[in-house]
Amino acid sequence: MEHRKVLLTEDEMPRQWYNILADIAMNPPLGPDGNPVTPDKLAPVFPMNLIEQEVSSQRWIDIPEEVLGVLKIWRPSPLVRALNLEKALGTPARIYFKNESLSPPGSHKPNTAVPQAYYNKVFGIKRMTTETGAGQWGSALAFSCAQFGIECKVFMVRISFDQKPYRKSMMATWGANCVPSPSLETNAGRDALEKNPDTPGSLGIAISEAIEAAVTDTSGQTRYSLGSVLNHVLLHQTIIGLEAKKQMAKINEYPDVIIGCAGGGSNFAGLAFPFVYDKIHGKQIEIYPVEPAGCPTLTKAPFVYDHGDTSKYTPLLPMHSLGHAFVPAPFHAGGLRYHGMAPTVSQLVDEGLLTPKAVKQKEVFEAGVLLARTEGIIPAPETNHALATVIEEAKKAKEEGKEKVILFNWSGHGLLDLTAYESYFAGKIQDVEMTQAEITKAAQVFANHPRPQSLKSKR
């Protein structure tokens, strides 16, 4: 009988995260004076223990026991062979995925929410603020704050707030307070509403609100938390790829192709970075981050210095960006509606170590429905972007008659995204694609910013 799942015991869980900063060259984040940002400048926003991780270039970083204790609620996550999908496509490819939908909130997001809540707790923080696009990140931080007894406030992008009201209920169940963004609670929110009272919101605006809510709290006991993009967030997510490597080794497999959807880059990097290490050291692997054609950060936007949020509260980050003021079309994958991308992922794309892809909405939902009907799990709309590319690769392997091994990340389930599936079945999902003129217009906001240097970290 063919095995469907490869499992690890709790004792086999990785005890350290992999830090890619030990292996790649990076441009530094810049402050308003154009100079590299020093850790003390970030202190009002993040606790110092997380800032230290953000700038660390130590290759392996220990996972605290208290963090492992909470991760064990659902980890190690299974590596699953998508046998039914293979059969449905008639492909010679062997397709595997990490099932990250099994966490309490339903996605990979608590892999970093748990350590972030833990480090804030250790630093003496009582309240955390954040934004959420899909609602998955807000739920993940709400769940994690409940584990460590921290208060949690979430600014949820308006369009997602309206599309999936039960995400708010989920956060409330874990004790968090969730409001739609833009809100009237912050200058950033009021400003966005004044400019456009009917705005669907964006992650850029919600991030500004959450940072403002943290730094203006005079008690000094509130800090902000980001669910993607930053180095420490991607570091925490590498537990996915480290587990996958062990699981594949158990069955004598190694991936030829690695695929993950990319919003800010965290689930993709979590799976891919431990394998990027191998690629830097000579392994032949194709690695694809996949984004929506309606928000084509990696495939069409330039590699520039830009702010991570609309109100320019964050430093200038070296990344692919559509411009910090850009508000993406209100398509259903809220977690992929971000103007920027993780600097580490951006750097690796710039060096040609990763090959980004963009997919359109109808193809994305078609893929999600096929996976639901074959593998059983209803995927999150974000995950569907990876799935569309997995199907394309599996079909290519069939045409070429190649026994490729494809590994992808099932970043979340879509059980609270059923409005999106209803729209798809009703024929209401539109393909959204940005034109070059729209990209050029959105890029005006960083015309005067410094440019990152072209660096090469390949050995």
Ligand X SMILES: Cc1ncc(COP(=O)(O)O)c(C=O)c1O
Binds ligand X (CB under 6 A): choice among 76, 104, 110, 133: 133
Site for ligand X in 98-117 (CB under 6 A): 107
- Angle at the Cα of 342 (from 341 to 346), degrees rounded to 5? 75
Distance separating alpha carbons of residues 222 and 120, to the nearest angstrom: 9
Binds ligand X (CB under 6 A): choice among 335, 340, 343, 452: 335
Q: Segment contacting ligand X (CB under 6 A): 42-50, 90-98, 378-386, 428-436?
A: 378-386
Give kind and range of the element (H or E) at residue 289. strand 286-292
Instruction: Examine residue 20 and tell whether it contacts ligand X (CB under 6 A).
Output: no
Instruction: Examine residue 323 and tell whether it contacts ligand X (CB under 6 A).
Output: no
Instruction: Examine residue 159 and tell whether it contacts ligand X (CB under 6 A).
Output: no
Q: Segment contacting ligand X (CB under 6 A): 218-226, 258-266, 315-323, 400-408?
A: 258-266
CB atoms < 10 A from the CB of 293, how many? 20
Distance separating alpha carbons of residues 174 and 161, to the nearest angstrom: 17
Binds ligand X (CB under 6 A): choice among 17, 137, 313, 446: 137
Q: How many CA atoms lie within 13 A of 194 on its CB side?
A: 7
Q: Segment contacting ligand X (CB under 6 A): 13-21, 116-124, 130-138, 207-215?
A: 130-138
Instruction: Examine residue 322 and tell whether it contacts ligand X (CB under 6 A).
Output: no
CA dihedral 362, 368, 371, 376 (to 10 degrees): -150
User: Please, what is the end-to-end C-alpha distance for the chain in angstroms?
Assistant: 42
Smallest distance from the beta carbon of 334 to ligand X, in angstroms?
7
Q: Segment contacting ligand X (CB under 6 A): 69-77, 161-169, 259-267, 389-397?
A: 259-267
Smallest distance from the beta carbon of 411 to ligand X, in angstroms?
3
Query: Token pair of 446, please?
Result: 């960083």
Contact 100, 411 (CB under 8 A): yes
Site for ligand X in 160-219 (CB under 6 A): none
Distance separating alpha carbons of residues 246 and 254, to the nearest angstrom: 10
Binds ligand X (CB under 6 A): choice among 21, 37, 68, 134: 134
Contact 420, 299 (CB under 8 A): no
Binds ligand X (CB under 6 A): choice among 37, 67, 364, 380: 380
Query: Token pair of 164, please?
Result: 């999936």
Q: Considering beta carbons, is residue 133 or 315 the nearer one to ligand X?
A: 133
Instruction: Examine residue 27 and tell whether it contacts ligand X (CB under 6 A).
Output: no
Which residue's beta carbon is nearest to the bound ligand X? 335
Binds ligand X (CB under 6 A): choice among 76, 189, 200, 265: 265
Distance separating alpha carbons of residues 63 and 181, to the nearest angstrom: 33
Q: Which residues of 416-436 are buried (b: 16+ CB within 10 A; e: fewer)?
A: bbeebbebbeeeebeeeebee
Site for ligand X in 405-444 (CB under 6 A): 411-412
Longest dimension (CA), the chain: 64
At 379, the amino acid letter reads P
Smallest distance from the beta carbon of 304 to ligand X, in angstroms?
19
DSSP string, 55-84: H---SEEEPPHHHHHHHTTTPSPPEEE-HH
Q: Considering beta carbons, is residue 419 or 444 the nearer one to ligand X?
A: 419
Instruction: Examine residue 295 and tell whether it contacts ligand X (CB under 6 A).
Output: no
Binds ligand X (CB under 6 A): choice among 129, 183, 231, 266: 266
Number of H helices, E strands in the chain: 19, 15
Q: Considering beta carbons, is residue 129 or 266 the nearer one to ligand X?
A: 266
Under the rule (CB under 6 A), what is the footprint of ligand X? 107, 133-134, 136-137, 228, 261-268, 335-336, 380, 382-383, 411-412
